[in-house]
């Protein structure tokens, strides 16, 4: 059975030997053809166009010649990392440092040569063109970003841990959805972040990570980087903010200064023990610092008019505000105060108000006196009209008495003489008095004086109403025109024509000059209020 099996195997192998022999004869015919010796390279198009980092591998072949025994070599152009043996096997992986982003292609001419045992040689130059291949940047593990509470934390990405093997410029690109709110990443790799109280509390529970891109230029190849965020393990000092955030506070005397403070501590608000201030000027009271809550304070201070002593215009000094925690960690800020010497406006306002009211009091009194004089003239005018009629009757009666004397006393001559004497003397005396207008004054003169008083009274009333309305407000009386207008109003009450009014210089007003009485005469008069004073 074994013999039969061997026979079957030999029968199957005979066709294989026949085919192989035929192929060998064909190769011998090709190699030993009568044509010249030629080198044969791969037939693919652009097989010699290579890329950095990509291997090229082929077997050099030959055709023609008088012998089938060949030996291959490289006549010139063989560079480092090129491998070529005498059997024609060529292997080369171009390095990434051959071309770059500026010179993107570099050529390498290589002369291949073949020689057979018959002494025939053939050579051919092949130019390998190597194209640049861009590699993305590389990012190593970064040091953690330890942040502090209520602090503008700054982290610079270590450029030793980020590199580009091609030497390309690199920029950092933030991944917004991966970054905490408020964090900023610059193109140069600088991270700034001031975590909020809630963000800091989250970090205290455990570290977080944020991702970003490192991108080379100009190819825009990206590699993702990762950064660990964690809270610092140091016992940090407390901190506080000031509103408004000014390092210099300028204010005038008698002007309220109000600063608000908000305290914070990375280790918890309960770690805060003290918040106070130290002033270079001892006239600033400690009571100016008011505590609202354990983390909220106010500085409320109003320097009086005597704070800056004459002849100085301003007074400058520093106040140091500080906060302490249980570990005596301290944070302090210095604020410079500049207080300006200021005139007490309330005193001047009171002074000019008294001028305003005093002038109206004088006008009010003069109007009252004119009103009284107007009544007197009115009554005198009425009597004068009645007196003229009485004089006529008296003259007639006295004349009749003189004429009737002889009739009444016909027999008694002495009585008749008395009657005549009395009647004549009376007529003479009445005539003399009538000539001097002692009995019953002139009606025309009284009427002129009455009209003049009314005219001056109305004029003073109108001017007083305008003056009371125009200068009733404190802001208006601060204008420089007030004194000029005041003098003009006073001049109206000092007219030389007032002498003709026959006003008594010793006249005294029986009424009190109250604000109600003045306002009754001058409707637009504005008394001083408590707030205004």
pLDDT recorded at residue 429: 42
pLDDT recorded at residue 435: 39
pLDDT at residue 423 tops 50: no
**pLDDT digit string, tens, across residues 140-193:** 999 999 998 778 899 999 888 898 888 889 999 999 988 999 999 999 999 999
pLDDT recorded at residue 28: 37
**pLDDT digit string, tens, across residues 232-290:** 866 677 889 999 889 999 999 989 999 999 998 877 788 899 999 999 999 999 999 99
pLDDT recorded at residue 13: 56
pLDDT recorded at residue 383: 79
DSSP per-residue letters across 109-121: EEEEEEEETTS-E
To 5 degrees, how large is the angle CA 100–CA 41–CA 116?
125
**pLDDT digit string, tens, across residues 41-86:** 988 888 999 999 999 999 988 888 787 788 999 989 888 889 999 8
Give percent of the chain above pLDDT 90.
Answer: 32
pLDDT at residue 307 tops 60: yes
- Burial label for 208, CB within 10 Å (0-12, 13-18, 19+), is middle
Reported confidence tier of residue 34, pLDDT bands at 50, 70, 90: low
Looking at per-residue pLDDT, the higher value among 346 and 320 belongs to: 320
Q: Sign of the CA dihedral 115, 119, 120, 125?
A: positive
pLDDT recorded at residue 80: 86
Lowest-pLDDT range, 92-106, 270-284, 436-450? 436-450
Are 485 and 469 in contact by the 8 Å Cβ rule? The answer is no
pLDDT recorded at residue 495: 53
Helix, strand and coil content of the chain, in percent to the nearest 5, comes to 35, 30, 35
pLDDT recorded at residue 210: 92
pLDDT at residue 401 tops 80: no
Reported confidence tier of residue 419, pLDDT bands at 50, 70, 90: very low
Structure tokens at 299: 């500085």
Are 193 and 147 in contact by the 8 Å Cβ rule? The answer is yes
pLDDT recorded at residue 293: 92
Q: Which residues contact 333 (CB under 8 A, 6 or more apart)?
A: 240, 242, 320, 321, 322
């Amino acid at each position: 059975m074994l013999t039969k099996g061997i026979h079957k195997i030999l029968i199957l192998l005979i066709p294989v030997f026949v085919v192989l022999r035929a192929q060998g004869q064909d190769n011998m015919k090709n190699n030993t053809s009568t044509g010249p010796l030629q080198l044969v390279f791969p037939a693919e198009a652009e097989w010699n166009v290579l890329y950095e980092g990509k291997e090229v591998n082929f077997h050099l072949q030959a055709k023609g010649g008088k012998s089938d025994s060949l030996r291959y070599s490289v006549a010139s152009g063989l560079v480092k990392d090129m491998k070529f043996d005498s059997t024609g096997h060529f292997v080369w992986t171009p390095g990434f440092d051959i071309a770059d982003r500026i010179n993107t292609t570099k050529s390498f001419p290589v002369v291949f040569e073949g020689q057979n045992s018959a002494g025939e040689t053939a050579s051919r130059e092949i130019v390998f063109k190597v194209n640049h291949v861009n590699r993305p940047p590389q990012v190593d593990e970064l040091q953690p970003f330890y942040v502090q509470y209520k602090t503008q934390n700054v982290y610079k990405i270590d450029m030793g841990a980020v590199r580009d093997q091609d030497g390309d410029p690199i920029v950092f690109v933030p991944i917004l959805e991966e970054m905490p709110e408020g964090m900023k990443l610059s193109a140069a790799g600088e991270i700034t972040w001031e975590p909020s109280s809630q963000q800091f509390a989250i970090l205290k529970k455990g570290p977080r990570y944020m991702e970003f891109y490192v991108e080379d230029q100009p190819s825009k190849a990206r590699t993702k980087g990762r950064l660990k965020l964690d809270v610092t393990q140091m016992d940090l000092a407390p901190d506080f903010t000031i509103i408004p955030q000014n390092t210099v506070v300028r204010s005038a005397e008698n002007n309220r200064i109000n600063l608000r403070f908000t305290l914070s501590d990375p280790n918890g608000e309960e770690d805060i023990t003290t918040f106070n201030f130290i002033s270079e000027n001892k006239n600033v009271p400690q009571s100016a610092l008011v505590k609202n809550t354990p983390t909220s304070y106010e500085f409320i201070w109003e320097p009086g008019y005597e704070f800056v002593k004459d002849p100085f215009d301003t007074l400058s000094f520093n106040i140091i505000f500080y906060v302490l925690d249980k570990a005596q960690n301290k944070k302090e800020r210095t604020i410079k105060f500049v207080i300006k010497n200021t005139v007490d406006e309330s005193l001047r306002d009171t002074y000019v108000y008294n001028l305003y009211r005093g002038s109206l009091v004088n006008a009010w009194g003069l109007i009252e006196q004119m009103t009284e004089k107007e009544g007197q003239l009115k009554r005198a005018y009425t009597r004068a009209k009645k007196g003229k009629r009485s004089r006529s009757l008296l003259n007639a009666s006295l004349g009749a008495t003189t004429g009737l004397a002889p009739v009444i006393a016909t027999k008694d001559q002495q009585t008749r003489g008395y009657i005549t004497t009395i009647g004549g003397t009376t007529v003479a005396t009445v005539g003399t008095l009538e000539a001097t207008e002692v009995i019953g004054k002139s009606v025309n003169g009284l009427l002129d004086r009455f009209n003049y008083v009314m005219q001056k009274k109305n004029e003073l009333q109108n001017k007083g109403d305008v003056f009371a309305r125009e200068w009733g407000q404190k802001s208006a009386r601060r204008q420089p025109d007030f004194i000029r207008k005041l003098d003009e109003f006073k001049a109206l009450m000092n007219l030389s024509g007032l002498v003709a009014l026959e006003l008594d210089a010793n006249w005294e007003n029986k009424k009190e000059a109250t604000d109600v009485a003045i306002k009754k005469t001058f409707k637009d008069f504005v008394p001083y209020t408590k707030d205004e004073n």
